[in-house]
Chains A and B, each alone.
Chain A
Amino acid sequence: MLRNISLSVRRGEAVVVAGPNGSGKSALLRLATGLVNVDRARIERPGLPAPPRIGYAPDRLPPQKFTSTEYLLHMGRIRGVPREKLLIQIAELHERFRLAAGPVRMSEFSKGTVQKVNLMQTLLGEPDLLLLDEPLSGLDDRSQRELLAVLEEKKRNGVAILAAAHEPELAARLADRCVTLNHGELAGEPERPRATLRRIVCAASIKVLEELRTADGVERADLADGCGSYLLRAEAADRFLLTALSAGASIESVTPDA
């Protein structure tokens, strides 16, 4: 299914693999585990300890006949995390993902709750690489925000993240790079995912336009004849607009940009 793919992820970097359903995103992530189709891929992990500590969240974790605590205890103990340390981490993860650690088995959980346990197990034992297949799938808005905050934190701590997502939310908020898979082939590696950039065009005095050039999140600015075209990160767009308007600029257009 996958053909001629070469992909690298650096420490502290998040790469999101986008693409329609059936494009091979999940297959690519399974391949990256090094446990599937091992004869068809070469995986190099320079900088990762041996054996590598990889957290993998499949698209759908099959719900098992364990409670969330039992399951996480098993996975953590298999990873070699001492029991006392593990119990503390499991309690923290339950709190962070707002999941009650009760006697109910995962086989009775909703899809969203199983997904929370799926993501929680990837974080056990300080992984160096996270492979996340549709991590936001099934999560409510608050849990999605919490997960993104956790992943941002992991990135800052040097964890490499490779995630597959068909919705733009993950790419927009987490990705340092976004690659697109189409029919099993990579369709290029743009520096930024499409959804993370906005082009804002405004009119103002040259002094205001020059000041806006240094505003937070601006990647590129083209100024000409009292008009400025700014390319900036999507999350900085609202703040930029407020700054521009309060400086007396007139907004002419706001558009997504590649």
Chain B
Amino acid sequence: MASFLALLHYCHTGYMRSFGYIAPMLLYFGSFAWLYMVAPNPVMSSYGFTAVLLYAVSAWIAFGYIDAEPEAQQIVTALHAQSFLKFATAKLAYLALLTAPFAFVAVFGPPLAGVFERAATAEELALALAGHLLLSWLGIGTGVLFGKRLFPGKSYKLLVLLLVIASSVGAEGIRNALPAFAAPVVWLLPPVRLVMRVFIGEDGTGPAAAMTAAAGYAALQFVLFVLILKRKGL
């Protein structure tokens, strides 16, 4: 456990000194400020906007972070950790911890600042927090899969990542536009649309099913990332 915490500390110190977080953080909090500049705002749809924004920002952070440690240093770090699994999971855990404060600020900031049209209920706060955290994990899972292991030296990978992010946000529209036989293809995309439907009050399956689907998909992405890393090596 001490070794895992030391890995997290190392990841954090290195990333903070790289300043790689500044641009995504500026985008996130800039958009956040822009959204709440005019008050009052509706509760759940505002949460829906910041949650989707957090999904995209988390993917950006994860994409920039996952290959930021030089290759030779990754081997050194993993050997000191004495466990490849520990090394890989520490990277994912760090990204989840890094983006968690973004979720907390997005959920508890607006009610504290009094920019909502009414007081958010405890159930809404809990749902909003779960939605923000899950979408940030989905973003992390998406971003890390576009690292150099799956796309070695491919200059177009950023474009593909942007396409995946945009498609998963607009999956509902894509599904409606596709012929019936092709519509199930949207299930391959990160289930951002299911969580969004919870925020805008259109959830047909209920929030629990949407959140479970998002958590399951994020877990699959994390497992896939570890397996790819193990298969391809550092």
Residues of A whose CB lies within 8 Å of any CB of B are: 30, 33, 35-39, 51-56, 58-62, 64-66, 70, 74-80, 121, 124-125
Contact = CB atoms under 8 A, between A and B. Distances in A.
Given A58-B72, A66-B13, A79 B82 contact: yes
B81 interface: yes
B80 interface: yes
Nearest to A40: B233
B75 interface: yes
B71 to A, nearest CB: 8
A62 B75 CA distance: 12
21 contacts: A35-B75, A35-B79, A35-B84, A36-B233, A36-B234, A39-B233, A51-B82, A51-B83, A53-B82, A58-B72, A58-B75, A58-B76, A59-B72, A61-B73, A75-B10, A75-B77, A75-B80, A76-B80, A77-B2, A78-B80, A80-B6
Contacts of B7: 78
A61 B201 CA distance: 53
Interface in B60-111: 70, 72-73, 75-84
Nearest to B72: A58
B73 A62 contact: yes
Contacts of A80: 2-3, 6, 82
Contacts of B234: 35-36
A52 B73 CA distance: 18
B76 A79 contact: no
Contact of A78 (B3, B70, B230, B231): B3
Interface residues of B, number: 27
Contacts of A51: 82-83
Contact of A52 (B9, B18, B82): B82
Contacts of B83: 51
Contacts of A52: 82
A55 B82 CA distance: 10
B3 A79 contact: yes
A56 B9 contact: no
Nearest to A124: B80
- Greatest chain A CB density within 10 A among B7, B13, B18, B233 is at B233
Given A58-B76, A60-B72, 4 more contacts: A38-B231, A58-B75, A65-B14, A80-B82
Contacts of B9: 74, 77
Contact of A75 (B13, B76, B84): B76
Given A60-B72, A74-B6, A77-B9, A65 B17 contact: yes
B75 A61 contact: no
Q: Which residue, B13, B77, B80, B82, has most C-beta atoms of chain A within 10 A?
A: B80
A78 B80 CA distance: 6
Given A55-B79, A56-B79, A80-B3, A37 B233 contact: yes
Given A51-B83, A75-B80, A78-B80, A30 B2 contact: no
A40 to B, nearest CB: 9
Given A54-B79, A55-B79, A79-B3, A74 B10 contact: yes
Nearest to A50: B82
Contacts of A74: 6, 9-10, 13
B3 A35 contact: no
B137 to A, nearest CB: 24
B75 to A, nearest CB: 5
Nearest to A133: B72
Contacts of B78: 35
Nearest to A131: B79
Contacts of B72: 58-62
Nearest to B74: A35
Question: Nearest 7 A-B pairs (CB), nearest first?
Answer: A77-B6, A62-B70, A58-B72, A51-B82, A65-B17, A74-B10, A36-B233
